[in-house]
Amino acid sequence: MTTVRERPLDGKVAIVTGAGRGLGRSMAGALADAGARVCVAARSGDELDTFVREQADLGREALACPTDVTDAEAVNRLVDGTVDAFGRLDVLVNNSGIVATTPLLDQEPDEWDRIIATNLRGVYLATRAAGRYMVPAKSGKVVNIASNHAMIGVPGFAAYAASKAGVIAFTKTMAIEWARYGISVNALAPGYFATPLNAGLRADPELTRRVHRAIPAHRFGRPEELAPWLLLLAGDASDFMTGETIVIDGGQIAR
């Protein structure tokens, strides 16, 4: 039976990719607040080191693993290194992502490939690497960060939307493939959240007005507003929930 506990992830170990800044950093903090030991991954080591220092100041153990999620060897090292350091792996949050808003006729194949490689191949690589531990352990939680742009058409977002729709399809498939091992695979699909990813957009008053008009709640989400949903999917509450995608977007796609 699920009970509400103050530190529901005490004793658990989590990996969060793309945790240097933005949503990943916020979610890594939420997992640590909930009691998990967290390994943070991204390409820029400095941002990861800052997270680890902040956690150490709070008396918590965390680990920084500079990783490019498109690199299969590096991703294997990330997962093996986490298990070597902390002895287990319970939660994987596939959050690393990049975006471009290029109209299709202007989009060069390199940019398309980069977006698909980071947002989709990265999710595949990290899930596969984590599965080498979760499947034998017959337990685990995989939380993939998709986007509400997988469910609506927005000009300029073809590669991004395709990658995130792929993440949702991957989530459903892996949920079914791994349900027999007691592993839950779910996704969060945020709408617009204020992070460095969209700092340029938010610096432009006209673009900001346009985004606000598209969102019934009339504002960007705050990164910490993902935490309750993440903790639901990372903890016991999702033991009988798998293959789902939760949309958190201020009502944008409910119109």
Q: CB of residue 139 vs ligand NDP: minimum separation in angstroms?
A: 25
Per CB under 6 A, does 204 bind ligand NDP? no
CA distance 189 to 129: 23
Instruction: Spell out the SS3 assignment of 1-28.
Output: CCCCCCCCCCCCEEEEECCCCHHHHHHH
CA distance 159 to 116: 7
β-pairing, 183-190 vs 140-145, is parallel
Q: Which is nearer to ligand NDP, 33 or 225 (CB)?
A: 225
Per CB under 6 A, does 29 bind ligand NDP? no
The distance of Cα 116 from the centroid of its chain, to the nearest Å, equals 15
Per CB under 6 A, does 22 bind ligand NDP? yes
Q: CB of residue 190 vs ligand NDP: minimum separation in angstroms?
A: 4
* Contact pattern for ligand NDP over residues 115 through 144, marking x by CB under 6 A: ---x--------------------------
Which span (51-59, 133-141, 192-200, 206-214) binds ligand NDP, by CB under 6 A? Answer: 192-200
Q: CB of residue 85 vs ligand NDP: minimum separation in angstroms?
A: 19
Q: Which is nearer to ligand NDP, 5 or 209 (CB)?
A: 209
Which span (12-20, 49-57, 83-91, 233-241) binds ligand NDP, by CB under 6 A? Answer: 12-20
Q: CB of residue 130 vs ligand NDP: minimum separation in angstroms?
A: 15
158-162's contacts with Cβ under 8 Å and 24+ in sequence apart are: 158/104, 158/107, 159/100, 159/102, 159/107, 159/111, 159/112, 159/115, 159/116, 160/99, 160/100, 160/115, 160/119, 162/116
Which residues, in sequence order, are CB contacts of 142 under 8 Å at separation 6+?
91, 92, 94, 127, 130, 134, 171, 174, 183, 184, 185, 186
Q: Which is nearer to ligand NDP, 9 or 28 (CB)?
A: 28
Within 10 A of 205 (CB to CB), how many other CB atoms are there? 8
Specify whether the CB–CB gap between 99 and 115 falls below 8 A. Answer: yes
* Contact pattern for ligand NDP over residues 60 through 99, marking x by CB under 6 A: -------xxxx------------------------xxxxx
Out of 8, 13, 16, 20, point to the residue binding ligand NDP (CB under 6 A). 20
Question: What is the binding site for ligand NDP (CB under 6 A)?
Answer: 17-18, 20-24, 42-44, 67-70, 95-99, 118, 145, 147, 190, 192-193, 195-198
